[in-house]
Amino acid sequence: MKVALIHDHLAQDGGAEKVLLVLAEMYREAPIYTLLAEPDVAKKFSRRIETSIIQRLPGGIKHYQWYMPFMPMAVEFFNLNGYDLVISDASAFAKGVITGTDTLHICYCHTPTRYVWDYTHQYIDELPYNKYFKKVISLVLNYIRLWDRQAADRVDFFIANSKTVQKRIKKYYHRDSIVIYPPVEVNKYAVRNSSGEFFLIGGRLAKYKRVDIVVEAFRDLGLPLKVFGDGVDLDRLREIAGGAPHIQFLGRVSEEEKIKLFETCKAFLNPQEEDFGITVVEAMAAGRPVIAYGKGGATETLEEGVSGVFFSEQTVASIKDAVARFNTLTFNQNVIRAKAEQYSVENFKLKMTEAVEEFKRKFYHN
């Protein structure tokens, strides 16, 4: 069976790319089709990578967002008619690829495209442009929203990365799906029997990640906080910290440094609504509890009082209250670790293999 993988873009090394890496391990002969590929990200995949015309346009890699209106067309230009099975790893455009009548197309969906559905108003509000340019962008998003809905009909079977995403697929695409949680490399982490001396937050520092409310809360609380990662919101976060000596900005860290941070922190903070939230499970794999916003994927992986605590509002006051409650509780690191193990790479591969076989049976025998 000839298999192809298609991914939105290889411009960053995030959760979707971690899923693609595991899919690439499962289908070692499958080429990867993607809108564009940044060399440092692409080199992790030892195989043929086919990119779209956007790769060759001026600024096509570093400023690929400029070409958003052309991405639907660029995806449709890929010719995948020679494949028996196509797996799209998508949160935006990859699911819109056009396949042949006899090609089974399975979409592993990280979410329906959030900036054209449930996140669209916030997305436009946060853009650093004047109101006239924002009006133009809103028209572009309207076109992409219509295309995105049509593109979902090209998928034969959907796999959602969480129950949260499963609900969005049903609401926006009117499609059923099964849930297979993303793979997390839990075996990279070990439980260190210590209480930890600092709180931890990090990743891609973008405004929507709401790291700002955590920094402000810990600035006021006077508790030690370490922030790892880089992004467009870093300067603003430093301003909010106001030079507080108990808040450290570590910048980008290596994988080894990140693992050590998770293993030695007191707790990890997750203030944003995630589709799934791999970093939450990574913290759990190290036996560390999580203080999380009580919406989205975190509500599926965390158990109140057992592996963490939730806060109900994305406010500084709500975080302060959650930290106060956290400090009154005792957590069993081995219990937390055991809960993380269900999201292992091995479990993901097993469930994906079973799902693909079931979808093949339905597709070819109906």
φ, ψ of residue 15 in degrees (nearest 5): -65, -40
Structural domain for 356, as ranges: 3-183+345-364
User: 19 and 148: one domain?
Assistant: yes
Check if the beta carbon of residue 336 is closer than 8 Å to that of residue 317. no
Indicate whether 352 pLDDT > 70: yes
pLDDT at 90: 95
Domain with residue 95: its CATH number is 3.40.50
Distance of alpha carbon 154 from the chain centroid: 23
Asked if residue 178 and residue 46 are part of one domain, the reply reads yes
Mean pLDDT of 136-153: 91
- H/E element, 357: helix 345-364
CA atoms of 356 and 157, how far apart (whole Å): 9
**Is residue 55 domain-shared with residue 129, that is, in the same domain?**
yes
- Do 122 and 217 belong to one domain? no
In this predicted model, what pLDDT tens digit does every residue of 202-242 receive, in sequence order? Answer: 988 988 899 999 999 999 999 999 999 998 899 999 999 99
| Beta bridge partners of residue 304, listed in sequence order | 308
* Number of domains present in the structure of the chain: 2
57 and 178, same domain (yes or no): yes
User: Residue written as tokens 């990090």?
Assistant: 202
The CATH number for 255's domain is 3.40.50.2000
Computed over every residue of the chain, the mean pLDDT equals 93
Nearest to 319 by CA among 230, 211, 234, 235: 211
Three-point CA angle 57, 59, 62, nearest 5°: 130
Q: What tokens appear for 210 in the block?
A: 């709401």
pLDDT at 152: 97
* H runs (alpha helix) in 117-254: 120-126, 131-152, 163-168, 211-221, 234-241
Same domain for 359 and 292, yes or no, is no
Mean pLDDT of 103-117: 92
pLDDT at 366: 67
pLDDT at 336 over 90: yes
Whether residues 212 and 316 share a domain: the answer is yes
124-135, pLDDT tens digit by residue?
A: 777 667 777 777
Please give the single-letter amino acid code of residue 86.
Answer: V
User: Could you tell me the pTM of the whole model?
Assistant: 0.89
Average pLDDT of span 38-55: 92
Amino acid at 252: R
Q: Are residues 158 and 192 in the same domain?
A: no
Residue 268: count of CB within 10 angstroms of its CB: 24
Note whether 319 and 217 are same-domain residues.
yes
Q: Return all residues near 24 (Cβ < 8 A) that are at least 6 apart.
A: 5, 30, 32, 45, 47
Decide which of 194 and 87 is more confident: 87
Task: Please check whether residues 133 and 256 belong to one and the same domain.
Answer: no
Please indicate, yes or no, whether residues 191 and 312 belong to a single structural domain of this protein.
yes
For the chain, helix, strand, coil in percent to 5 are 45, 15, 35
Residue 122: per-residue pLDDT? 74
Verify that 77 and 13 share a domain, yes or no: yes
Q: Residue 116: its pLDDT value, please?
A: 83
- Main-chain phi, psi angles of 261, to 5 degrees: -60, -45
